[in-house]
Amino acid sequence: MRVMVERSGGFAGIASRRDVDSASLDALEAATLERLAHDALTVAVPQSPPMPDAYRYDVSIDGNSRTMSETSLPSEWRSLIEWVLARADS
């Protein structure tokens, strides 16, 4: 499983991007990534107009892409995004 997260916007407008592939993770981390991604995909991403200086996230799970805003981020997606952004690229 390959998950890419790009965070853009925010007051500073400085983008941050991580690309994590479960094939290059150890078994425990790979299982965590797959569980977080699975949980996220069960929750619909609400569409709301972007708010000033809120982060925008572009998330791709095995090529399946979603765009979402910090102001309407379901907790399942937040968990996945935070986990991926906290990692180094693999």
Partner 1 sequence: MPHSHICCSIIPPHIFRNIAEHGDDDERAQARHMLEESAEVRGERRALGLMASAIALPAGEKRRTIFDAQSTRDLPGKLVRSEGSKASRDAAVNEAYDGSGATYDFFKKNYARNSIDDKGLRLDSSVHYGVKFSNAQWNGRQMLYGDGDGKLFNRFTAALDIIGHELTHGITQYTAALEYHDQSGALNEHFSDVFGILVKQYTRKLTAAKSDWLIGAGLFTKEVHGIAVRSMKAPGTAYDDKVIGKDPQPAHMQNYSKTTGDNGGVHVNSGIPNHVFYLVATKLGGKAWEVAGRIWYDTLTRRLTRTSNFQACADATHAAAGERYGKNSAPQQAVLEAWKAVGIDVAAPAVVAAARLKIAKPTFSIPSAAAEVPAMAIASTSARRARR
Binding site for partner 1 (CB under 8 A): 6, 8-15, 46, 48-56, 58, 70-72, 74-75
CB nearer to partner 1: give 19 or 34.
19
Report the nearest approach of partner 1 to the CB of residue 46 (Å): 6
Measured CA to CA, the distance from residue 2 to residue 71 in angstroms comes to 25
Report the nearest approach of partner 1 to the CB of residue 30 (Å): 26
Bridge partners for 42 per DSSP: none
CB nearer to partner 1: give 13 or 26.
13
Closest to 50 in 3D by CA, of 76, 66, 70 = 70
Give the angle 44-47-49 at the CA atoms, nearest 5°: 160
